[in-house]
Every structure is written in C-alpha cells, then in structure tokens.
Amino acid sequence: MAAVVAVLTVAGLSVDGCRRFRLAPRPDGAAVVVAPEATTEPGLNVTDEIEPNDLLANAQPLLPTGAAGVGVAGHLIAPAASKAKDVDLYRVVVPPPAVVTAEADGAPPAPRQRMQIEVRPDAALSVSVDALDDQGRVLVASVGTTPGETEGIPNLAVVPGIYFVRVKPAAAAASASGGVVSGGSAGAGRRDGGGAGAGSSAAYRLTVRLFPFEAGEEVEPNGKGTLANEVTAGADVAGYLAWRHDEDWFRLPLGGVPEGSVLSADLDPPDQVAASIAIYDSVEHKMIEQHGRKGDRVAVRNVRLPSSEPSVFVVVRADAGSNLEARYTLRLRTEEARADAELEPNDDAAHAVPIGDGTFLGTLGPGDIDVYRYAAAMPTELDFEVTPPDHVDVKIEVINEDGTVLMKVDSGKRREVERIANLYVGGAVLLRLSGAKGDGNLDEPYRISASSRPVGPGGEHEPNGTPALATPLADGATGNGLLFPRGDVDYWLIQTAVPPDGSLEFAVRGIAGLTLDVRVQTTAGKDLGRFHVGGDASAPTRVVPGPAGCCLVLVREASGRAANPRDRYTLSVTR
C-alpha cells in the first residue's frame, strides 16, 4: 500500500504542488488516495473528491447555493492492471432560488436557475462532462478532444431537485462530438472513453455554480427542435457555443407577423469560434444556411417567411472551436419584403427569384449564391449588370433551365461592375451570382440593373461563343453583334448557299478603336479564310468553301484585351 500511496501522491503534485494528501475509506475497508485537502475561495466552497463515486448510488453530494458555488479537486484514477477507465459522478442538490421574478406575461414565476458546470483538467488530460437528470438520463454532453482544455456546460436550466454531473476521460477518437442527447443512462459501473491510461492518474478541478437567468439568455438543453428556446423578432439573444459542434435551436412564432414578411438574422460569435446560422421551417426542413470563419459575424438576409407556417427555427452552430466564457449575440428582425429586393433562399433554380426590367438589391455573404430567373414573352435582348459593394468580386453565370452553364462573366475586380450585353432570351434564363472565395459583405447590398429590347433583325444571340451555339445568319440578312466583355467570341452559322462558281464574299464593318479578327471556317472548324478589320472600316473578302461546303464565321477582338459594350460590328455574306 505504501508504494501505491507514493505513486499517486506524485501524480497529485502536477496540480497542487506540495499540498498534503489524505486517505478516504472504501466500502471494503481499504483506503484510496484522492484529491488534496479542501481549500476555500471567496464565493466557492472547495472540497475533495471521495472515491468510490462511479455509480449514481454512490455519487458524491454537492450542495451549491445562489450565494456560493461548490468546487471539487478530483482525479481520474485508472486502476492498475485494468483496462477500465475511471468515471466520477456527483449528485448536485439544487435548492430553490433566493429570489423568484414574475414572468413578463403575469404567469406564475418559474423557479428556474442557470447551473454553470466547469471542469479544468490537467495539461495531459482530455475530459468529457455530462449533465444528467435525477434518473441518470443525459441532458447535455460536452465532449472534449484537446488535452488540458476546459470543458463544461455554462447555462443548464435547472429547477429545485437532484441532478448529476459526470466527469470522465474523453474518447481519443477525433470523431467524438458534443451535443444534446436524450434517453441516455448512467448505467451501473459504466466506464467510457480514453485519456488517462491504466495505472495512471490525472487531476481536474470541477466547479458548479447557480445563477438567476436573465432576459434574452439561451437555455440549455436546446440542441434540437423539440427543445428549442422560444424567441421573438426584434429581441437579442445571448448564448454560448460551449463545446465542439454545440448547436442551439430557437423557435420564432409567426403569429402576428404580416404576410409577405422576411426575416433577417445576425450572429456575432465569440473569438476562436467559427459559427454558422441556419433557418428551418416548422417541420425542420432547411431553408438557408450561412457559414463564417473564426470570430467573423454571420448573417442571413431577407429570408421568405412562409405564410402557411406557424413558426420557423433559427439554429446557431459551432462549426469549429468553442468558448465557455464569452457569449454570442443573435439578433432577429422581421419586416415587409421590398419589391426591389432579393428574397432568400435563392441559391438554386427551384428557388430562383423572378426579376424583370428595373433595379434590384441583394446581399452576398461569404460563400453565398443568389439565383434569379428572367422570363421573356417574346425573343428579347437583355442587358444585365451587377454593381457589387466593397470587398466583393462578383461573378455572373448564365444557365439554362436544365442546369447547363451557357456563359460566365468575371472580368472585373472587387467593387467593379460586371456586365452582360445583348443576352438573347427566347423564354426563360437563370442568372447566378457568386463572390470570389472568401468575399462577402453583409452590410451593403449589390445592385442589379436589367433592361431589355426586342431582338432586331440580324442580331446575334448571346451566348454564341462556341460552334454549337452559333447564331444563324439567314441568306441575304446582315448580322450585327457586340464584342463585350473582354475575350468575347461570336460564332455565326451562315445559311447562304454556295453559288455555281464556288465562292462567297464576306464583308465585315468594324468598331472604332478595335481591331477585329475574322475567320471563315468549315463546320468542322477548319479555316477557309482569315482577315483583320481595323477601326470602323469595311473589309470584303471572297472565300472559296470548296467541297467542305459553308460555313461558320468567327469574330473576335484581335488582342483579347479590348471590348466595347455600345457599338456593333456588322457581317454580310453575298454570292
């Protein structure tokens, strides 16, 4: 026994230096070494762990009050020559609160208090902390993965009665995750996890305190929809992302919210936490989600509130990191939707926002995608431009209803306007906006301007940058097109029959300030003729198609660095 005492005493020095140790009796009459002798701190009654305490039946009692918390200096002691892991259970007796404040609606006051549980382990120890009800069912589990990292539950809602706190070594597997668990049990002799190996000892400091709840505070457990805290629009919520992948659910009733309203939510997470915010409908189908980087604010804007829904859920989640001490702030507000503003969710074709000619506003957060649908009753040439705010380099994609990407425009930098000129719309087309990686602005909107006109005779049909998308040019017609943005390529499919002499004349009138590169090709892409047109001059050229027949015409700006969104070139083909 002397040898055992010596070994365990040395282990205790890692936390408590040269404090004296004592022996606690075991039920079989033997004695085991536990934590150092009790000390006191202002507002905290500190005691020692007393083994055995690995079952609900022998859990060590703790008696916190609103005036003074309780602390335990404990060890997770793995028995020698055993694969079992130590588990320490504490029986917390919650007294009635000293002062009970009446509810705002005049209802009888609830004797609810906020229990703060915190475990500070040795530098070499990872711990998990469970809060259990009086039957041993898990209410909340804070699962640690990093040695020496403090774990706990800062805001467990409790009423007068019995609760249990379980401290155990954390599972070594990196896949362990924290969250609300229901229906668990602290079964007889349960020993879980890893951390301190057999025959070793690792110290920790447990503290349990009671506080009154304040208005607007998050209440645990709230890790799923059935446990969601109820909130109101216009009120701020303060909460904790206290463990790995902590998830907080809030229910926002929609009774009294005018039909056609939208919801906006802002989340200011604590430092060291990368957080996300998501909106779910009343049956927990996800409507929209937005992620942020560590410490960055996260927001969603103008989320459509379904008129048929009794409520929606707002979910805050820790994607990476945790913070037991600092709280996040969640702000919710509802307002009537503006006719000229984007409505979320609109990140795919099924939720595309319909737009017409005019000016519209939207918001792009980091990683956000916004999709719009423009429909035309007759063939239309559409001019579409997006003016982004600071810190956003916007990209435009033109997409068919079947999901085929027809063209991409990304010629500008941050805050620079992106334009699509003379986009041919023969029915409906999707326009998808996104920012460069990491770009986003939650406070300033982008502006969309859309204008259309009937397709004129001979007008090119953008996009026509590949042979498969070539604009048909009828026999005897004169085609006209724009070279915009930089790098634009226009293909024309010539429908003029080759005469008996076997040649056709191609005439192109250029654009002032540009040099055009013109190529006449077979439908297989073989060059039949090539010429340049400088400025707004006209350059007729005769081409003999030969047995391959006729033909495609490719027109582009020769240098690839210039463009003109206003002036058009013309193309004519004669026998």
Name the one residue in this structure whose structure tokens are 């809030």: 250
Which residue(s) pair with 45 in the sheet? 40, 70
pLDDT confidence of residue 100: 60
The structure tokens listed for 121 are 């382990």
In this prediction, residue 306 carries a pLDDT of 86
- Least confident interval from 53-67, 100-114, 233-247: 100-114
**Are the CB atoms for 228 and 132 separated by under 8 Å?**
no
Q: What distance, in Å, lies between the first and last C-alpha atoms of the chain?
A: 112
**Cα–Cα distance, 330 to 332 (Å, whole number):** 7
Q: How many residues does the chain have?
A: 575
For residues 226-254, average pLDDT: 95
Per-residue pLDDT of 516-538, as tens digits, reads: 999 999 988 889 999 999 988 88
pLDDT of residue 108: 63
Q: What is the model's pLDDT at position 104?
A: 52
Return all residues near 492 (Cβ < 8 A) that are at least 6 apart: 460, 464, 470, 471, 472, 473, 479, 552, 553, 554, 555, 571
Fold of 2-107+116-212: Jelly Rolls (2.60.120)
Question: pLDDT at position 81, please?
Answer: 66
**Average pLDDT over every residue of 252-263:** 93
pLDDT at 102: 55
List the structure tokens of 467.
Answer: 């042979």
Q: Which of 79-83, 136-140, 503-507 has the lowest mean pLDDT?
A: 79-83
pLDDT of residue 451: 96
Q: Is a pLDDT exceeding 50 seen at residue 30?
A: no
pLDDT computed for residue 268 by the predictor = 97
Place 16 in a pLDDT band, splitting at 50, 70 and 90: very low
Band of pLDDT at residue 110, cut at 50, 70 and 90? low
Give the pTM. 0.76
CATH no., domain 349-454: 2.60.120.380
Q: Could you give the percent of the chain with pLDDT greater than 70?
A: 85
pLDDT of residue 177 exceeding 70, the answer is: no
Q: How confident is the model at residue 131 (pLDDT cuts 50, 70, 90)?
A: very high
- In this prediction, residues 152-171 reach a mean pLDDT of 95
CATH 2.60.120.380 spans which residues of the chain? Answer: 2-107+116-212, 225-336, 349-454, 467-574
Mean pLDDT across the stretch 115-143? Answer: 95
Q: Rounded mean pLDDT of 57-82?
A: 90
- Does the pLDDT of residue 34 top 50, yes or no? no
What is the Cα–Cα distance from 170 to 297, expressed in whole angstroms? 31
pLDDT of res. 247: 97
Q: Categorize the per-residue pLDDT at 6 as very low, low, confident or very high, splitting at 50, 70 and 90.
A: very low
Give the pLDDT of residue 172.
53
Question: SS in 3 state form for 290-313?
Answer: EECCCCCCEEEEEEECCCCCCEEE
20 pLDDT above the threshold of 50: no
The pLDDT mean for the chain works out to 85
Mention every residue, 6+ apart, whose C-beta is less than 8 A from residue 151: 118, 119, 121, 127, 128, 129, 142, 143, 144, 170, 243, 324
Say yes or no: domain 225-336 is CATH 2.170.130.10: no
For residue range 410-430, list pLDDT tens digits in order. 988 898 999 998 899 989 999
Q: Average pLDDT of 547-575? A: 91
Mean pLDDT of 172-186: 38
pLDDT of amino acid 490:
97
pLDDT over 90 at 89, yes or no: yes
What is the pLDDT averaged over residues 154-169?
96
Question: For residue 498, is pLDDT > 70?
Answer: yes
Identify the pLDDT of residue 500. 78
Examine the pLDDT at 40 and tell me if it is beyond 70: no
Report the alpha-carbon distance of residue 379 to residue 496 in Å, rounded: 23
Residue position matching structure tokens 């040649």: 503
Tokens of 482: 């724009």
CATH class of 467-574: mainly beta
Contact 104, 125 (CB under 8 A): no
Structure confidence by residue, pLDDT tens digits, 366-404: 889 999 999 999 999 999 999 999 889 999 999 998 889
